[in-house]
Amino acid sequence: MNTFDEILNSILKSIEDNPSVDIDEVIAQKMSEMGISEESKKTLSETNSYLEAYDEMYAKLQAAKAEGDTRREWVQEELLSIADRHHLSEEQKEKLFSDITSACDNSLKTTISKGE
């Protein structure tokens, strides 16, 4: 039985060797070749979704930067969009942004104190 890493590496290698190939087709082919369980199929499908979402967000960030926006401005716009989609009140938005800012500040302080 192949490990998840082996399966993922095989899929990524296939995509790297032929960048124009449809990712879903590669995944289906590899799953068939390897006799992958339903649980593993689900994990691969979720991983593919995360990769696609990352790629989409990265493209949006690059487009915003090309238009002169900073990363911070882009993140703020994305967070506002998410808050609006979830119909958050102004108070809820302020709390969300305050919590995120605090988490980022704490993370930065931890990173700086560890010298990473």
pLDDT in tens, 59-76: 999 999 999 999 989 998
Q: Are 15 and 23 in contact (CB under 8 A)?
A: yes
Q: What is the pTM of this model?
A: 0.55
**Which two three-digit tokens encode residue 90?**
């102004």
In this prediction, residue 1 carries a pLDDT of 58
Domains of the chain: which residue ranges? 1-69, 70-116
**Which two three-digit tokens encode residue 28?**
């289906």
Give the residue with greater pLDDT, 33 vs 58. 58
In this prediction, residue 61 carries a pLDDT of 94
In this prediction, residue 56 carries a pLDDT of 93
In this prediction, residue 116 carries a pLDDT of 55
Beta-carbon-side half-sphere exposure of residue 24 (alpha carbons within 13 Å): 2
**Which two three-digit tokens encode residue 66?**
């090309």
Euclidean distance between CA atoms 78 and 81, whole angstroms: 5
31: pLDDT strictly greater than 80: no
Euclidean distance between CA atoms 13 and 50, whole angstroms: 18
Euclidean distance between CA atoms 66 and 73, whole angstroms: 13
In this prediction, residue 89 carries a pLDDT of 94
Residues in the chain, overall count: 116
Q: pLDDT exceeding 90 applies to what percent of the chain?
A: 40
Sign of the alpha-carbon dihedral angle for 17, 20, 21, 22: positive
In this prediction, residue 78 carries a pLDDT of 92
In this prediction, residue 55 carries a pLDDT of 93
